[in-house]
Structure formats: structure tokens, C-alpha cells
Amino acid sequence: MSDKLDANENIINETNPFENHIRLTSKYELNNAVQPLLTDLYQISMAYAYWKNQKNDNAVFDLFFRKNPFQGEYTVFAGLEDCLKYIQNFKFSTSDIDYLRTAMPQYVEDEFFVYLENMNLNDIQIYALREGSLVFPRIPIMRIEGPLPIVQLLETTLLVLVNYASLVTTNASRFRLAAGEFKNLLEFGLRRAQGPDGGLGASKYCYIGGFDGTSNVLAGKLYSIPIRGTHAHSFVSSYNDLSDLHDRTLKSVVSDEMFDLANLSMDYLTQLEKFEFNFSLNEANRGELAAFIGYAIAFPSDFLALVDTYNVLKSGVPNFCAVALALHKVGYRAKGIRLDSGDLAYLSNKVRDFFKKVAKVFQLDFFESLTIVASNDINEDILHSLNMQGHSIDSFGIGTHLVTCQKQPALGCVFKLVEVNGRPCVKLSEDVQKATFPGKKNAYRLYDKEGIPLVDLLTRSDEDEPKVGEAFLCRHPFIETKRAYLSPSKVENLLVPVWINGKLVQENMDSIDGIRERVRKQLNRLRNDHKRMLNPTPYKITVSRTLYDFIHNLWLDYTPIGELK
Ligand SMILES: Nc1ncnc2c1ncn2[C@@H]1O[C@H](COP(=O)(O)OP(=O)(O)OP(=O)(O)O)[C@@H](O)[C@H]1O
Ligand SMILES: O=P(O)(O)OC[C@H]1O[C@H](OP(=O)(O)OP(=O)(O)O)[C@H](O)[C@@H]1O
Ligand SMILES: O=C(O)c1cccnc1
Ligand SMILES: [Mg+2]
């Protein structure tokens, strides 16, 4: 089979396309649909028109967004590794070219297709933020330089690789901030994701954004993310009573003694009823008890039960505690429970009280700190609300709202031409906020002496960089009167080389855990007022005096003075 990322060829050659996907992604760790034809037709149309006009100018494009998502004031940049894998593998295959020959107008000259077939990215230079960095509006996340037709061809694919990855990573980081540093966060979104690729990407990027694990097994295999999970209501409701248990026995941890876990559990249930745990034996559903016993026999060291199929406090929790006590008798410690409906704050507190009482009555301290997992349509606002109410949840399983980014379904990254053959390019707009910052630029983050970021600064690329301890005039990009001198304690050059003359710059690449750690550290250092949920303070984006004058003069030059009649 060819090494090229050619979806058609692969499917023809493989009997199992899913297996094919696994193999390709583990080889390239990239969806096999990510290839040069995964683009908008107009990119190829422009490439032809450029080629026909022999317009092979040296171009500079910036990839950036204008507004942070989720009514927030920060964004986490993710997707760089995927972009670079795409860049590394960029090659039109023979069947791509055959297809384009048939799909484009007949008068398109054949030599253009030869040009496309021979195209490579050896003359392209890419500078980017390190993956997992915080990024703010208008700061170029990537600066891509090279022959105009070729860089233009990269636009759509780079955008699709950065937009969702950054959006969902930012979303996950907001859920992390809302839940607090020490809560366990599990991503359960695959079933609700926007297709298989959305699901796989969400699992990877939610982990990067601060989740601890995923239920998505393929994501675990491909990205070495911890896989976690409990069981579903169907497992509970499939059991009717104890007679459904095929095997009731479990071997002791310390001897060869075999215990009848069903009898033991029934004994403990009876004891619990006597100790006035506020339920009666006939309220505790026997099918649920049987399901819990069956699950505990299968996973004696990892017993975690879903307790809301019938009634949490009258059935699920008493049944769980009975089985957990029986397991303890055999030498195992149960893990905890999951709540998937009802008032999660109230129920979690009630369950914790129940556990504390069991701990006291049976003299088993570990019962106090059994894990309480909560799920069911949880979003960022609900996490904040639960915190305000007070709850006893240790772990959240979150799917739909996390992976679909319910609060804002797309990040608006754009790809804009800023310079051609050294000539700055401008895209004017009625809305000044939408006008591009022309010219090739550098981007810096200036820090105070505590290591807190103060402002981001854009300069022209041929300016001297700001220096530690030296006052630098930082200007608001639009408002003339807003400016300040700043003596940074640290200056970070944000745009680092990642693809130079056809080669990856390995030292600027990070592992998935390295990227995740960068997100955590940078968010820790960002001032709280930029991170708060309600009306956060915008982080300051500034430009140098030279860049300010340059762009304002250009905007004026490009806007002829009108005549009022
Ligand atoms: N204490 C709470 N404060 C705020 N929101 C909560 C609280 N407890 C649960 N929620 C949320 O309220 C919503 C409850 O949804 P809904 O009423 O459809 O579920 P339910 O009836 O409890 O469960 P189900 O329909 O699965 O039986 C969910 O989004 C859930 O996360
Ligand atoms: O609610 P989410 O944040 O998407 O988390 C994932 C959900 O998926 C599962 O059940 P599913 O929703 O499929 O069925 P259920 O609601 O009837 O339990 C699970 O029990 C969660 O409720
Ligand atoms: O493991 C779980 O509990 C789980 C996984 C996916 C969706 N809902 C729940
Ligand atoms: Mg649900």
C-alpha cells in the first residue's frame, strides 16, 4: 500500500476501514482525511490563477482570531502537532491529481496538475506559539511564509485543525477552573460528539485542557490518555433478582476461602436496615443488588456502582453499601458510586452522610471517603452552581456540553495575508476591530517580576525586541491615548520556528503531557480577573510605537478621503 494519505486507496485496499483508520492514525496519529484535498475549492482555483499568472511571490500569512470564546478573556492554543503532521505529509497523490483533472474546468492547463503533483513544502517557514500556550485576540498563533500559491493552499486545513482543537481545549480548561484543581474530571462525550473525528479530537484535547481521563478507548490507545469508566443503567436493569447470578462466590484476598458474596451482601443489607439507615428491605431493589454483586465479582478491586436506577437513598446506596461491606469481608475495598440524575448537590451530600454513618457503625474509616462520581448534562455553569451550593462530589463525568462546546460551537480563527514581497497587505473593514494588522510581525509576552504576564506586544519583524529591565512604550492598537511604558522582568518571544526549509524543528515540539502541563502552568500564572466566569477583564494586547504608526498610516493611505455632496 502507498505511504500517502489517500483515503480512497486505503479503503479499496483494506477490508476493515476502521482497522485501517487505527493503523493510519497510529502511524501518523492523524485522521487519514487530513490531506491536501481536505480544503475549499477556492484555494485550488487561486493556486491555478496564481500559477497561470506566474505569481510566485513571497507571502506572509497570519493565523489568528479576533474574539475569545465562551465570553471569556483567554484561549488555549492547540492543534499544532496535527498541523505539522499535515505539513509533513503534504503531497498530492496520483489519484488526487486524476480527480482534479476531471473536476476542474477542461481548459485548466495540464502543466498545472504536474506543478501540483510535484509541489512540496520545502520553501515554507512556519513560526507558531508553543502548543498549550494561552493566546489572545489578534496575536498571530502561526505565521506562515513562503510562495503565495503554496501558503494559500494550506489555509483551510490549518484552520480546521486549529479551530476545534483550541476551542475544545479552552472549554475543557474552563471546566477545570470551574471544578477546582483537585476534582477528578472524566470526559464521557464520545456518543454525543460531532462524528467520530470530533469524538476522538475531543478526548485528546480535553485531556490537554485539564481532564484526567476519557471513556474513549481508541483515544486511550492512540494518545496514551488514561481510560476510565463505570457502568450503565442497562447493566442494573438487566438483572431481576439474585437468582440471575450465575456465580456468587469470590475468593478471599488472604486465603483460599471462598465467600458467597450474595449471602454476605444480603446479611449486610439486613444489618443496615436494622441500624436505621432510613430504608426498608423491600425498598432496596433485588435486581439492583444482584447487578452490583455481579459487577463486584467481576471487578472486586474496582467496584464502583451506578446507584440511581431506582431510588438513590432507599435502594442504590443501601445496596452498594451492602456489597461494599461484603467485599470488605473478603478483603477488597470498594471504590464508590455514580449519580446520574436528580439534584446532584443534595444527593451527593446525603450519600456522603450515609457513608459516614456506615463508617461509624461498622468502624470502617475508608467508607467516609468513598468516591462520589456525578454525571448528567453537566456544564460549566452547573459546576459553578454546585460549588456555591456545597456538594460532596469527587469526580465529574462530562460529555455533551464539553465536547460539543454548547456555549459556543466554533472559534473564529482566520488566515490573513499580511505581506507580499515585502509589501504590507491590508484588509480594511467598516469595523476597525476587523481590519488586519499589516506586515510581518513578531509577538512577545512581557512579564512582571512575579512571572505574571502583563501584556502581549506586537512589533514589526525588523524592530529590536523589548529588553528585560528597559522601558518599552506599549500602545493600544486602536486608541491613541492609551499607552504606557513597561519595563518587563521577562520577555518571551511567542513565535518560535516549527517548520523551516522542509524540516520540523524538533526542539519546539512537545509530548501530549508536556502540552497539558503547559496549559496548567500558564493558566495558574494568569491573573484571576482574566479567568473569572462573569465579566472577566480583557488581557492587554499592545503594539510598539513603530507598528502603531505603520498600521495607522497604512489604514489612512488605503482609505481615500471621501467627498460629501
Ligand atoms: N444541584 C444542582 N444544581 C444545579 N443543577 C443541577 C443540580 N443537580 C443537577 N443539576 C443539573 O440539572 C439538570 C437536570 O436535568 P434533568 O431534569 O433532565 O435530569 P433528571 O430528571 O435529574 O435525570 P434523568 O432525566 O436522567 O432522570 C442536569 O443538567 C443536571 O446536571
Ligand atoms: O450527560 P453527559 O454530560 O452527556 O454525560 C454522558 C452521559 O451519557 C450517559 O448516559 P446517556 O446520556 O447516554 O443516557 P441517560 O441520560 O439516559 O443516562 C451517562 O450516564 C451520562 O449521563
Ligand atoms: O463510564 C461511564 O460511566 C460512562 C461512559 C460514557 C458515557 N457515560 C458514562
Ligand atoms: Mg443523559
Longest dimension (CA), the chain: 101
Q: Please tell me which residue, 562 or 346, carries the higher pLDDT value.
A: 346
d(CA 225, CA 199): 14
188 lines ligand 3 (CB under 6 A): yes
Phi, psi of 470 (to 5 degrees): -110, 135
φ/ψ (deg, to 5) at 472: -130, 135
What does DSSP say about strands 184-187 and 395-398: parallel, antiparallel, or unpaired?
parallel
The average pLDDT across 116-144 equals 98
**pLDDT for 482-510, tens place per residue?**
999 999 999 999 999 999 999 999 999 99
pLDDT: which is higher, 391 or 562: 391
pLDDT at 30: 66
- Burial of 119: CB neighbours in 10 Å, binned 0-12, 13-18, 19+: middle
Give percent above pLDDT 90 in the chain. Answer: 90
- For the cut 90, the answer to whether the pLDDT of residue 1 exceeds it is no
Give SS3 for 491. Answer: strand
Indicate the residue type of 142.
M
Between residues 30 and 311, which one has the greater pLDDT? 311
Strands in 304-306's sheet, in edge-to-edge order, are 213-214, 184-187, 395-398, 371-374, 336-339, 304-306
CA-nearest of 233, 235, 232, 259 to 247 is 259
Pick the residue whose CA is nearest to atom 7 on ligand 3: 188
Report residue 157 as a C-alpha cell.
486545513
Ligand 4 centroid to Cα of residue 376, in Å, is: 5
Give the number of the ligand closest to the Cα of residue 192: 2
Give the pairing type, strands 395-398 and 371-374. parallel
For ligand 1, atom 28: residue with the closest CA: 377
Pocket-testing residue among 187, 203, 230, 308, ligand 3, by greatest number of atoms within 8 A of Cβ: 230
125 neighbors 500 (Cβ within 8 angstroms): yes
The H-or-E segment that residue 150 falls in is helix 148-179
Q: Look at residue 21 and tell me whether its pLDDT is greater than 90.
A: no
Q: Note the pLDDT of residue 29.
A: 59
Spatial separation of the C-alpha atoms in residues 296 and 250, rounded to whole Å:
9
Question: What ligand is nearest to the CA atom of residue 406?
Answer: 2
Q: Are 482 and 476 in contact (CB under 8 A)?
A: yes
Ligand 3 site, residue 536, Cβ cutoff 6 A: no
Mean model confidence pLDDT for the chain: 94
End-to-end CA distance of the chain: 70
Residue 428 confidence (pLDDT): 79
Whats the size of the chain, residue-wise?
565
Tell me, using a 6 A CB cutoff, whether residue 397 lines ligand 3: yes
Encode pLDDT of 51-74 as tens digits.
Answer: 999 999 999 999 999 999 999 999
Q: How many CA atoms lie within 13 A of 346 on its CB side?
A: 5
Supply the residue whose CA is at minimum distance from atom 26 of ligand 1. 341
- Ligand nearest to the CA of residue 231, numbered in listed order: 3
219 sits in which H/E element: helix 217-223
Question: In this structure, which ligand is nearest to the CA of 404?
Answer: 2
- CB 399 near ligand 3, within 6 Å: yes
Q: What is the pLDDT of residues 422-452, one digit of tens each?
A: 999 988 777 777 778 999 999 999 999 999 9
Calculate how far, in angstroms, residue 488's C-alpha sits from the geometric centre of ligand 3: 47
Find the residues whose C-beta lies inside 6 A of ligand 1. 341-345, 376-378, 382, 385-386, 389
Q: What is the pLDDT of residues 259-271, one digit of tens each?
A: 999 999 999 999 9
pLDDT at 17 over 60: no
Is it the case that residue 14 has pLDDT exceeding 60? no
For the CA of 373, the closest atom of ligand 3 is: 3
Q: Does residue 147 have its Cβ closer than 6 Å to ligand 3?
A: no
- Give me the pLDDT at residue 138, please: 96
For residue 15, is pLDDT > 60? no
Atom of ligand 3 nearest to the CA of 399: 7
* Res 4: pLDDT: 40
169 C-alpha to center of ligand 4: Å? 22
pLDDT 10s digits, 158-202: 999 999 999 999 999 999 999 999 999 999 999 999 999 999 999
User: What distance in Å separates the CA atoms of residue 477 and residue 472, rounded to the nearest whole number?
Assistant: 15
pLDDT at 313: 98
pTM of the predicted protein model: 0.94
456-467 exposure pattern, b = at least 16 Cβ within 10 A, e = fewer:
bbbbbbeeeebe
The ipTM of this complex is: 0.97
Walk me through the domains of the chain, giving residue ranges and CATH numbers: 41-172+409-558 (3.20.140.10), 230-393 (3.20.20)
**How far is CA 50 from each of CA 45, 56, 147, 213, rounded to the nearest angstrom?**
9, 7, 10, 47
Rounded-to-integer distance, Cα 471 and Cα 200, Å: 47
508-542: pLDDT as tens digits: 999 999 999 999 999 999 999 999 999 999 999 99
CB of 215 closer than 6 angstroms to any ligand 3 atom: yes
Give the number of the ligand closest to the Cα of residue 190. 3
Give the position, in ligand 2's atom list, of the atom nearest the Cα of 378.
3
The grid coordinates of residue 450 equal 512575579
Hey, what amino acid is at 440?
Answer: K
Q: What's the 347 CA to ligand 4 centre distance in angstroms?
A: 17
Q: Are 234 and 310 in contact (CB under 8 A)?
A: no
From the CA of 183, how far away is ligand 2's center (Å)? 19
Residue 231 CA to ligand 3 center (angstroms) comes to 7
Range from 163-177, 227-241, 314-328, 423-437 carrying the lowest mean pLDDT: 423-437
